Amino acid sequence: MDDVTRKSWDRPAGASFEDWMKSRVARVADRPYDWNALKFQADFDPKYRRAQKRFIGTGGTGVAKDTNVIPAEHFTLSNMIIPAGGEGPMHLHVDAEEVFFVLRGKIKVMVEKDGEYFETILGERDCVSVPPGVYRGEINVGEEDAIMMVMIGAPKPVTPTYPPDHPLAKVKR
Task: Please report the beta strands in 41-134, taking only residues with DSSP state E, as ranges in sequence order.
Answer: 51-56, 76-82, 87-91, 98-104, 107-113, 116-122, 127-130
| Phi, psi for 152 (deg, rounded to 5) | -120, 130
139 and 75 in contact (C-beta within 8 Å)?
no
| pLDDT tens profile 14-71 | 999 999 999 999 999 999 999 999 999 999 999 999 999 999 999 988 898 999 999 9
pLDDT tens-digit profile of 160-170? 888 998 888 88
Q: Is residue 173 pLDDT above 90, yes or no?
A: no
- Give the pLDDT of residue 51: 96
Which amino acid, residue 159?
T
Whole-model pTM? Answer: 0.89
Give yes or no for a contact between 80 and 52, defined as CB atoms under 8 angstroms apart: yes
Q: Look at residues 150, 153, 171 and name the one whose alpha carbon lies nearest to residue 162.
A: 171
Backbone angles phi, psi at 169, to 5 degrees: -65, -25
Domains of the chain, each with CATH number or no CATH = 34-170 (2.60.120.10)
Give the separation between CA 168 and CA 44, rounded to whole angstroms. Answer: 8
Query: Does 1 have pLDDT greater than 60?
Result: no
| pLDDT (0 to 100) of residue 2 | 58
Q: Give pLDDT, residue 9.
A: 85
136-154: pLDDT as tens digits? 999 999 999 999 999 999 8
Residues 6+ apart with CB under 8 A from 64: 58
Q: DSSP string covering 6-48, please?
A: --TTSPPTT--HHHHHHTT---GGG---BTTTTHHHHHH-GGG
Per-residue pLDDT reduced to its tens digit, 89-142: 999 999 999 999 999 999 999 999 999 999 999 999 999 999 999 999 999 999
pLDDT in the model for residue 58? 92
